[in-house]
Structures are given as structure tokens and as C-alpha cells.
Amino acid sequence: MSLDFRTKKFIAVTGGTDGLGKAVALARLAAGDEVAVIGRDPEKGRAFLDAAAGAPGRAHFIAADLSLVGETRRVVDEIRARFTRLDALVLCARHYRSTRLVTAEGLEHNLALFYLSRFLLGDGLLDLLEAAERPVILNVAGPGSGTGEIRWDDLGGERGYHGSWALAQGGQLNDLLGIGFTQRWPATPVRYVLLHPGVVNTSFSGEYDADAAAQVEAVRAGAAPVERAVTPLLDVLENPPAEPLTALVAGRWVDVTGPEFDADAARRLRGETTRLLGSVASAAPGVAPDRLRRLLDSPVFATVATVESDGSPHQSVVWITRDGDDVLFITAVGSRKERNLRRDPRVSLLVSPPDEPYTYAALHGTAALAAEGARQLRDTLAHKYTGRSYADHNADAAARHGEIPITTVRLTPHKVTGRL
Ligand SMILES: NC(=O)c1ccc[n+]([C@@H]2O[C@H](COP(=O)([O-])OP(=O)(O)OC[C@H]3O[C@@H](n4cnc5c(N)ncnc54)[C@H](OP(=O)(O)O)[C@@H]3O)[C@@H](O)[C@H]2O)c1
């Protein structure tokens, strides 16, 4: 079955080459959707494509090791190149390790794969998801067990590692990831669903020592078959919940406002995530135009540099928006910035995503000033950054400054540098 562009859904599934992820992917292909699965193993990728032979052109395999930040970023780019919208992002990749492994990027393997890749994929694909009608991120892990396993001062388990601890901590970090997602993107239409599938007889991807392998075999005996356990995942994709964040544990909805779902811990994790990503070698030099456009479209604060009359630099922070490749902001007539730009139109503007501060783009160009449309632009910017009109957001300033003339600044970049 193949549906037309409007009806068919576009779905990305990490860990879609095995277990629950593969079952989701095949079921959605059978329903007519277009699905990209991500896994490491090309053999499994081929097997998936063979199994999807009845859906020509709608099944894709992206080979990537999601325990690497660089690879995860590449996956984001590949999905963006393939799809113009994403109805669902299903996060199923995980890999148990009895022995602690540090990735080539210096991060503990489970932390990088089970938590960080899910963080990067959700944020990196946000605008693609927002282009869908009822978008959902389905994070399949083990919600509702609180935060007791999280070692805030040793997230990578340097001081005493055990595979089941790493998995338990990863599950709890994913709960906080869901909470943090709704904290960071309060107005997004994307629904975030945390889901525990129960114990399911999947491939249990991992490298197990003898004890752990014996435990897995014992668990398998009582585990549900994939064909049955996949039903709640498919239900979520078919009919995403209305609430921004929900959690489903073995088929039952649980309260995400309870003590197991700790909003302060989620805020704390955001800082830790920034630190972890900062420890990874930054993105390769160069700025991907697509990433730059996405960053400029997000409510990121920009630092503008102009040239003073004595040649020294002057900087200030502004709200920005984009028109094609030009960047627009406003400034008051008579401000230092405005006077500098009238004298010397050379300008540079720097943006750095708050959650990935080791990446940035610097745009160098010239500025053109125009009074026309400035007030409208100020409202557009206020809506983008605060969700309200300028007068509602800043009633005092509006009253105090009355009709201070403002001007639009259009920066046309001649050169873009950075790592993004
Ligand atoms: N099964 C259960 O009883 C159970 C219980 C609770 C929660 N869950 C959760 O359900 C989700 C799905 O579990 P499952 O048991 O269905 O999975 P699974 O059968 O163990 O399959 C894991 C998937 O992850 C992929 N993967 C592993 N390492 C990867 C890496 N470095 N980069 C990219 N992909 C990688 C594997 O593909 P490659 O081999 O190609 O890399 C495979 O497709 C997981 O998040 C798990 O935590 C499962």
C-alpha cells in the first residue's frame, strides 16, 4: 500500500534494524508510510530492506554508530536531506555492555548511545517534526523509576561500572530528557511519549559476560513476543496523545507530574548535557547552510559587532530573524549600533546554539538600514522570542519610550565562518 504525500507519514526509527524498532518500521511501511531506520550493521540493514521489499522507495536504511556524536549529527543531516517533514521519531537504539567502553570521542558508550544520541536527534529534527500535523517523539526506554540511579558526579561510570546500572541510569536520563524537552520547547506541537514496553523477547543487542548472558536467557523465557509488545508503540504513532509529555509503562499511562519525574533534575541534566557535548571534539570546521538557517530560525540570541568611530569593536545582543540568507534585527535610531552602522556598514553577527555552545556561526557582511516595517518586525521578533507582541512583552518600555524611532537592519552576509 502507498499513500499520497499528504496522508502518508514520514517516520525515522533508531534501532530500526532489530527488535521493537524493526517491528514498528515494518508495520508502518505496511500501512503505507515512508520509513528510515538507523542501525550500525549493514547486514541487518540489508535484511530490513529485504523484509520491506513490498514497499519500494519507501524504506531507507541509514548506517550509523549512534554512540558517536559526529555520526548522530550526520544522521540528522541525512534525515533532513531525505524528508521535508517528520511525523514521528522513534528512539529504540540501545546496546548493553558488561564491560565499560569509552568511545573514540571520549564518552562512556551507553551514556552516548542511550541518552546523548536521543537528545541530539530530538533537537536536531525538531523543525522537521514541527512541519507535520501531529508530530510525536516516541522514546522507548523505561520510564517512571525516578532519578536514584543517576550519578551526577560520574555520569560515565568511571568509578565503578556495571552494565545494568548504565542501562538503569540511561533510562532515568531519558525520562529527564522528555521533561527537559517540554521545558525547552514549551510551545512546540511535538508530543513527547516515554514508553516502557515491558519485557520483550527481542535481540537484546549487547556484549554480555557469562552472568549477564544467563540472566538474559532467563528473562527471555517469560518475555512477551515482539509482535504483541509492539502494539502500544503503534497505537501512539497512530494517535499521539494530546498532552505535551506522557509516559506509558507496560500498557498503562503513568502520572508524569509525580515525584519520579523530577523537573529540577531535568534542568540540571541540561547543564550536564552541555558539558558532555563540550567535551567532545567540536563539529568539523565549516557551516552547513541548512543548519545555519535552522539556527537562525530558532529563538537564539545573536551578538552583533559594529565598528566604533575610533576603529574599536562594539558589541550588543539582539533578537534576529531571517529573510532568505539575510538576517534582520532592529535597533533604536540614535543608538550606538545605529550610529556606527550609518558611518560604517560593516557588521558581523555571531550565533551559538545554547545547548551546543561549542558550535557557532559568524556572519560577516554589510548592513542596510530602513525605517519602513521596523515596528512590524519588532512585533515579529517579540512573538518569536517571547510568544507575545512587543507591547505585551515589554509594556513598561513601550510606555516609557513611547514612539522612539526604530530602524530595521538587514545584514547581507558576504562570508560565513564557524563550526556548525
Ligand atoms: N526488550 C526489552 O525487554 C525492553 C525492555 C525495556 C525497554 N526496552 C527498550 O526498548 C527499546 C528497543 O529495545 P529492543 O529490545 O527492541 O532492541 P534490540 O532488539 O536490542 O535492538 C537494538 C537496536 O539498536 C541498534 N543499535 C545498537 N547499538 C547501536 C549503535 N551504536 N548505533 C546505532 N544503532 C545501534 C541495533 O542495531 P545494530 O545491531 O544494527 O546496531 C538494533 O537495531 C530500547 O530502547 C530498550 O531500552 C526494551
Query: How confident is the model over 36-49, as pLDDT tens digits?
Result: 999 999 999 999 99
Q: Does 2 map to a domain?
A: no
Alpha helices in 190-302 (DSSP H): 210-221, 226-229, 231-238, 263-279, 289-297
pLDDT greater than 70 at residue 94: yes
Which amino acid residue places its CA nearest to atom 17 of ligand 1?
19
Examine the domain organization and report whether 241 and 339 are in the same domain: no
Q: What is the pLDDT of residue 290?
A: 83
First to last CA, the chain: 39
Q: What is the mean pLDDT of residues 172-185?
A: 96
Is the Cβ atom of 65 under 6 angstroms away from ligand 1? yes
Residue-wise pLDDT for 354-382, tens only, equals 877 888 999 999 999 999 999 999 999 99
- Quote the CA–CA distance of 188 and 179 in Å, as a whole number: 13
Residue 43 C-alpha cell reads as 547486514
Q: Could you tell me which of 311, 295, 308, 314 has the C-alpha nearest to residue 416?
A: 295
Examine the domain organization and report whether 141 and 238 are in the same domain: yes
Which amino acid residue places its CA nearest to atom 42 of ligand 1?
15
Pocket residue to mutate for ligand 1, from 95, 101, 115, 226, most atoms within 8 A of Cβ = 95
Examine the domain organization and report whether 300 and 229 are in the same domain: no
Q: What is the mean pLDDT of residues 155-159?
A: 96
**Residue with the three cell numbers 526506554:** 141
Q: What is the mean pLDDT of residues 313-332?
A: 97
Is the Cβ atom of 107 under 6 angstroms away from ligand 1? no
Is the Cβ atom of 200 under 6 angstroms away from ligand 1? yes
Q: What is the mean pLDDT of residues 384-403?
A: 81
Instruction: Tell which wins on pLDDT, 162 or 275.
Output: 162
What SS3 class is residue 194?
strand
Is the Cβ atom of 17 under 6 angstroms away from ligand 1? yes
Q: What is the pLDDT of residue 288?
A: 84
Whole-model pTM: value is 0.82
Q: What total number of domains does the chain contain?
A: 2
Q: Does 44 map to a domain?
A: yes
Which of 279, 308, 339 corresponds to the end of one domain?
Answer: 279
- Quote the CA–CA distance of 333 and 341 in Å, as a whole number: 11
Which of 250, 279, 308 corresponds to the end of one domain?
Answer: 279
The answer to whether 167 touches 96, Cβ cutoff 8 Å, is: yes
Is the Cβ atom of 326 under 6 angstroms away from ligand 1? no
Q: Does 249 map to a domain?
A: yes
Which amino acid residue places its CA nearest to atom 41 of ligand 1?
40
Cα distances (Å, whole numbers) of residue 304 to 45, 277, 327, 357: 46, 25, 11, 17
Examine the domain organization and report whether 297 and 153 are in the same domain: no
Q: What is the pLDDT of residue 79?
A: 96
Strand (E) or helix (H) holding 43: helix 42-51
pLDDT band at 231 (very low <50, low <70, confident <90, very high): very high
Is the Cβ atom of 353 under 6 angstroms away from ligand 1? no
How many A from CA of 91 to the centre of ligand 1?
Answer: 9
pLDDT greater than 90 at residue 179: yes
Examine the domain organization and report whether 200 and 222 are in the same domain: yes
How many A from CA of 208 to the centre of ligand 1?
Answer: 14
Residue 317 C-alpha cell reads as 545582543
Q: What is the pLDDT of residue 342?
A: 97
Residue-wise pLDDT for 163-176, tens only, equals 999 999 999 999 99
Sequence-ordered strand ranges (E) for 300-345: 302-307, 313-318, 321-323, 326-332
Examine the domain organization and report whether 301 and 350 are in the same domain: yes
Provide the 8-state DSSP code for 300.
-
- Quote the CA–CA distance of 178 and 224 in Å, as a whole number: 26
What SS3 class is residue 323?
strand
- Quote the CA–CA distance of 378 and 401 in Å, as a whole number: 14
pLDDT greater than 70 at residue 3: no
Largest Cα separation within the chain, whole Å, is 78
The phi and psi torsions of 168 (rounded to 5 degrees) equal: -65, -45
Q: What is the pLDDT of residue 402?
A: 62
Examine the domain organization and report whether 407 and 272 are in the same domain: no
Residue type, 297: D
- Quote the CA–CA distance of 89 and 177 in Å, as a whole number: 14
Pocket residue to mutate for ligand 1, from 37, 94, 116, 199, most atoms within 8 A of Cβ = 94
pLDDT band at 401 (very low <50, low <70, confident <90, very high): low
Pocket residue to mutate for ligand 1, from 14, 20, 37, most atoms within 8 A of Cβ = 20
How many A from CA of 251 to the centre of ligand 1?
Answer: 19
Which of 279, 302, 337 corresponds to the end of one domain?
Answer: 279
Is the Cβ atom of 197 under 6 angstroms away from ligand 1? yes
How many DSSP H helices and E strands does the chain contain?
A: 16, 17
**Which structural domain, as residue segments, surrounds residue 387?**
289-419
Q: Does 284 map to a domain?
A: no
Alpha helices in 161-209 (DSSP H): 163-184
Examine the domain organization and report whether 67 and 91 are in the same domain: yes
Q: What is the mean pLDDT of residues 321-333?
A: 97
CATH number of the domain encompassing residue 44: 3.40.50.720
Q: What is the pLDDT of residue 5?
A: 66
The phi and psi torsions of 223 (rounded to 5 degrees) equal: -80, 150
Q: What is the mean pLDDT of residues 411-415?
A: 97
pLDDT band at 65 (very low <50, low <70, confident <90, very high): very high
How many A from CA of 311 to the centre of ligand 1?
Answer: 57
